[in-house]
Structure formats: C-alpha cells, structure tokens
Amino acid sequence: MGTGEVARYLGAYGSDRVQKAALFGSIPPFLLKTDDNPEGVDGSVFEGIKEQVLKDRYVWFKQFFDDFYNVDKLAPERISDEAWRASFQVACMGSAYSSYHCVDTWLTDFREDMPKIDVPTLVLHGTEDRILPYEATAARLPDLIDEVKVVPVEGGPHNIGWTHPEVLNPRIPGIPRGRPRGRRRGAGEGRHVGVRLLDVVLHPIDGGMRVLRRVRVGEVDAGRELDVELSRGIEPDVRRLDAGVEHVAAAPSVLGDEVEVPAGNLDPLGVLGKAEAEASCRRPPPARRRAARPPPRSRAGRAAPAAVPIEP
C-alpha cells in the first residue's frame, strides 16, 4: 500500500521536488477489469471480499495475509508465524468501517497519472503476487511510463520487502540517477555551499546586546555540515569547513530555509541586517500589560477610598 499515493502525487503535483520513485508491489495502472481495461481483475472478486468483511472481517484478515505472504509456499523459511501474527494484529487495530471501504480504493484508475511520471522509476514486483497480480499491474507499466525499470521478483508474494530482502536491498541503490529540478549544474560551475539560519541568540555585553546568528553551513555535494556563529562586523572562520570555500553567505532570506549559493561569489556580511530584521519580526511579541483596573465603587456609586498603609 502506498504505490497509488506515489503515482497520484506525481500525476497531480508534478516532480519539481522529486528526483526518483520506487514502487514495491505496484497497484497502478488500474486493477479493475472494464471494457477498456481487459487486463484487470473481475469486479466480482472485490465484491466477494466486501461480503466477507461484513460477515467476519477477522476471517478475511487471515485469508488476506496468507496470500499477502504466500504462506503455503514460503513459511516458515521466509515468513515466520510471529511476523505473520504481527501483521494480523496491525490489521485488527483498524475499524470495521475502514476495513470495508478500503476495498473500493483499490479500484482507483491511475492510467492518466502514468504519463505524467517523468522521473526515473524503479518497480519491483513479485511474480506470484496474489494481492496485485503481476500481469495486471507491474508488467503493464513499461508501456505507460517513459523512464521505468521493472524488476520481477521470481516466486515473490505481495510483501516482497519482508520475504525477499536479499533481492530488493541490492536493487534500491540502482535506481537511475535523477537530477534535482531547477538545480542543473553546467560544466565549469563552482562548488556550492548550503546555508541555514538556525536561530538568533542575544548575548548581553557592556552597554548593550550582542547579536549572534547561528547558521548551518556545508558543501552541498560533500554533505559536510558545520555550526558557525556570526556576529556583526566579524567574518566567520570558514577554514574549518575544509572545502576550499573563501566566503559563506551569512543567512538565507527566510528563517529556517535551506539555500544553495555559489562559492566564491558571496557577501558574508551584506545580508546580516536583513536576517536580523527578519529574526526580530519572528520573535514572540512581548506580553501585553493589563490595563489598570478602575478603583472599586461603593454601593452609593462613589469611588471607595484608597487603602491607607498602617504604620506599625
């Protein structure tokens, strides 16, 4: 469960913030058999599931997880009784309502989302998947997604992540390398440094306050990170970065944002004022002072006399 969410997200919102995708046991493109989808599963199968859920959902849970793991073939070598019972107990925590209505969500049509997936996509699917048959799902994706690699896991059930980790784990690093959207680097461009303003600290000194900005700085490609304190008029010591960077931008435009700035073309102190102004705007407002309450009035409508301290 979850491959449909990945497909619908990429189809609805695009891949501006996504580099790659991986689908394990894919439900797309469309599971239900219709006139224009003859490869799907007959609708009577799902109606039978819903009838069983209404009659006794716990009996259905047992049948579901027996097929989820292909217990008759893979137990106990690849699926222990304890692991099976753990999955069963998780299902029992769901409500009867969700157990029944989740079946309809399996019949979502993702065919219009498939051509919109424009990132490298890896699909791993068990060839003996009894929940989402391979021929009705994953085997159809190469005709619908431009850049996709489908890896059939021989003899694998639906939950190949548990039963066949030795097949999946080596494959995951093999997802074709994608490029972040909007961050393509041409030849000859310099290294980049990522900067994030973590907080603004006020330190009292003689005659006033000293403003320090704690930022996280690191070379993006190398993944190095370092906390640096910057104070007004003092250039940070970036030699500790050990990345050949001469200058570091002091802060991003918004508190908490992570930005990328080209090394060697930065103004480490030019944005400090702006960062300080933003920080001051985002500090919690001072507590409101309560307005002075009017003195209590006597029953006659006149103000009661003020209390007079009694001298000992």
**CATH assignment of the domain containing 38:** 3.40.50.1820
Together in a domain, 113 and 196: no
Neighbours of 1 (CB within 10 A): 11
* Domain presence at residue 145: yes
3-state class percentages of the chain: helix first, strand second, coil last, to nearest 5: 35, 20, 50
Q: Would you list the DSSP string of 46-63?
A: HHHHHHHHHHHHHHHHHH
* Domain presence at residue 244: yes
* Domain presence at residue 305: no
Together in a domain, 139 and 33: yes
* Domain presence at residue 180: no
Together in a domain, 158 and 35: yes
Q: How many CA atoms lie within 13 A of 294 on its CB side?
A: 6
Model confidence pLDDT, tens digit, residues 47-60: 999 999 999 999 99
Q: Distance between CA atoms of 138 and 134, rounded to whole angstroms? A: 5
User: Which residues form the domain of 239?
Assistant: 192-282
* Domain presence at residue 295: no
The domain total for the chain is 2
Q: What is the pTM of this model?
A: 0.58
Residue type, 133: P
**In this predicted structure, what is the pLDDT of residue 171?**
86
Cβ–Cβ under 8 Å, residues 150 and 123: yes
Q: What is the mean pLDDT of residues 256-285?
A: 42
Model confidence pLDDT, tens digit, residues 168-215: 988 886 555 544 444 444 433 444 445 455 555 555 555 555 555 555
Together in a domain, 155 and 199: no
The residue with tokens 């990328």 is 260
Together in a domain, 69 and 112: yes
Q: What is the mean pLDDT of residues 81-99?
A: 96
Domain boundary among 113, 146, 174: 174
Model confidence pLDDT, tens digit, residues 150-162: 999 999 999 999 9
* Domain presence at residue 214: yes
